[in-house]
Amino acid sequence: MKIFTSAQIHELDKYTIDHEPIKSIDLMERAARVLTRAITERWPSTIPIIVFAGPGNNGGDALAVARMLIEQNYQVQTFLFNITGHLSADCAENKKRLCDKKGRSLLTEITQEFDPPHLDSGMLIVDGLFGSGLNKPLAGGFASLVKYINASKADVVSIDVPSGLMTEDNTYNVSANIIRATQTLTLGQLKLSFLFPESQAYIGQLRILDIRLSREGMEKIESNYTLMEEDIARQLIMQRDRFAHKGQMGSALIIAGCYGMAGASVLATKACLRAGAGKVTTHVPKRNVAIMQVAVPEAIVSIDREETSFTEGVATEDFQAVGIGPGLGTSEQTAITLIAQLRRTQCPLVIDADALNILASRRAWLQQLPKGVIMTPHPKELDRMEGKCIDSFERLTKARELAERLQGYVILKGHHTAICMPDGHVVFNNSGNAGMATAGSGDVLTGIITGLLARGYERREACMLGVYLHGLAGDLAVRELGEESLIASDLIQYLPKAFVRLKN
């Protein structure tokens, strides 16, 4: 699914109007019917409704919804804000249609002073003040109205976007001046800002409503953002040849786990094997050898000359992929060995955890990374590398820039993990859950992606499929274990079921 900017949403609306063809007022009527249906499915006709409509097309949607709710015997009071004396053409038409309901509607048009209605817990507010076209924070009277609504105990349903929230960048927005909706009924497409954790306080429960915007238009409009869903993941799965042997399934190298962090190497290695790699070699310090041999008997163990840390590089000519970093430690000797290892590695390379922290403290080394490198930072690791960020949009922007600068892949981990490609495109993942916020989860992801690379997947596909499988395994595990009790090794346990689901 493509994710469009506010300008592209307007372009898609226009394309639909021009090519369906359909009049803009009729497209608004179509949207209003879908919105009204969603509202009536959740709130009964006994609940009093207050509609706040702005002067633009979002307000036009709200006025049409008010009319349709009245037709279904809802008690509706509508306030239309026309401070500048100018309504959009479709908003003005829906004002006329609502007024034509003669005695069945109560419409108050606000041109100057506003005496707000009493709002109570037994009421529903329909927020149609501002939609996806908003490009600056609310101020003045509208900001005061938003604060008044937020202070009430009434339910709030926002049309398309909670008023005050911008569809992309809210870095310098004013949080107090954004509607906090009980439910957001967004039209047509997911909005970019909805994917960021900071926005969740405003969106409430999210529903995406299909208003039959042009499919042809969606295909023609280029977008830098895509949502990764199960049908895409299913298409990426490679079939295993019936006559395959382990030599054809790829050989992976995992370099992970200083003394005291052997668990990181165990998790990454098991995940790499479960991802389908034919053979996995794990390089560990001497004191971790016994742990590895017992915990993962299927793996080959490469032994460092040092007792407790990574100090000896590994030749990579016989490997199809290398994953490095989980639990590695950040000592000076380990750092020197790391950059030497990165420079000599010619096969696909996944860098995570302590390897990223080492690079963050020695930023000049980033220039020595090979093209096509895959980095998997969580937000704090990204901040250490690129500088502290105000919010998720700024962090995503920096991750995109880093991927383009390195001509590699930056997987910014989170609820909707963002896979930033070398060409500037971003794929957001749509699998996973809050139960995966547990130590070792990132080590498992490193192992999965490394295993897929060894198996023969191209970097782009390995990133997309690896992130989706990681989340899907978490979703399958949560069904039986619940979010509170999920641990990283559960993800490995449920990874086979995730593969089976995609293949079947």
The answer on 265 and 205 residing in a single domain is: no
Residue 305 phi/psi, 5-degree rounding, is -70, -20
Range of the domain at 194: 2-223
The answer on 254 and 381 residing in a single domain is: yes
Distance CA 261, CA 282 (A): 14
The answer on 278 and 152 residing in a single domain is: no
Determine how β-strand 418-420 pairs with β-strand 426-429. antiparallel
Instruction: Sheet with 124-128: list strands edge to edge.
Output: 106-110, 76-81, 49-53, 124-128, 155-159, 183-187, 205-209
Q: What is the pTM of this model?
A: 0.95
The predicted pLDDT at position 104 comes to 61
The answer on 170 and 50 residing in a single domain is: yes
What number of residues does the chain have?
504
The answer on 13 and 145 residing in a single domain is: yes
Q: Minimal CA–CA distance to 163: which of 144, 174, 177, 151?
A: 177
392: which residues sit within 8 A by CB, 6+ positions away?
196, 197, 198, 379, 414
The answer on 103 and 42 residing in a single domain is: yes
The amino acid at 379: P
The answer on 390 and 337 residing in a single domain is: yes
The predicted pLDDT at position 105 comes to 72
Check the CA dihedral 153-158-164-170 and report its sign. Answer: positive
Distance CA 434, CA 485 (A): 11
The answer on 210 and 131 residing in a single domain is: yes
Residue 74 phi/psi, 5-degree rounding, is -85, 150
The answer on 260 and 168 residing in a single domain is: no
> Which two three-digit tokens encode residue 121?
């817990």
Count of domains for the chain: 2
* DSSP type of residue 363: G
Of 223, 250, 269, the one marking the end of a domain is 223
Q: Taking a C-beta distance cutoff of 8 angstroms, is the pair 13, 5 a contact?
A: no
The predicted pLDDT at position 318 comes to 96
The answer on 215 and 75 residing in a single domain is: yes
pLDDT tens profile 121-156 = 999 999 999 999 999 999 999 999 999 999 999 999
The answer on 377 and 492 residing in a single domain is: yes
The predicted pLDDT at position 102 comes to 64
Residues of the chain under the 50 pLDDT cut: none
Of 171, 198, 223, the one marking the end of a domain is 223
Of 223, 242, 268, the one marking the end of a domain is 223
Alpha helices in 345-487 (DSSP H): 354-360, 379-386, 392-406, 441-455, 459-481
Determine the 3-state secondary structure of 95 from DSSP: helix
Instruction: Tell me how far the alpha carbon of residue 144 is from its chain's centroid.
Output: 31
pLDDT tens profile 189-235 = 999 999 999 999 999 999 999 999 999 999 999 999 999 999 999 99
